[in-house]
Amino acid sequence: MLLFALVISVAFGFLSRRRPLDRVKYMLWSLFLFLLVGIGIGWAMYPFSR
């Protein structure tokens, strides 16, 4: 999941921002959100896992 989030965040950063600093900020922000949502959904499913 971390690898997936990292690769997609880098691509999104280059896709949607032009200035290097903006790209880095966008990459970090989208990486954080990917991980947050992934782990959040994982925990949300936990009560129904058994």
Partner 1 sequence: MTEEIQTPATSHSEKSREMFAFACGVAGWLVPGLGHALQKMWGRAIVFFVTVGALVLIGAGMRGNVFNSDGGDAFAALGYLADLGSGSFYLLAKQDEPYGADVSRAGGDYGTRFLAAAGVLNLLSALHAYEAARGRKG
**Encoding tokens for residue 9?**
């965040």
The owner of tokens 């959904």 is: 41
Q: Is 15 in the site for partner 1 (CB under 8 A)?
A: yes
Q: Is residue 39 a contact residue for partner 1 (CB under 8 A)?
A: no
Question: Is there binding between residue 7 and partner 1 (CB under 8 A)?
Answer: yes
- In angstroms, rounded to a whole number, what is the distance separating the alpha carbons of residues 12 and 50? 36
CB of 44 to partner 1, least distance (A): 19
Which residues contribute to the site for partner 1 (CB under 8 A)? Answer: 3-4, 7-8, 10-11, 14-15, 18
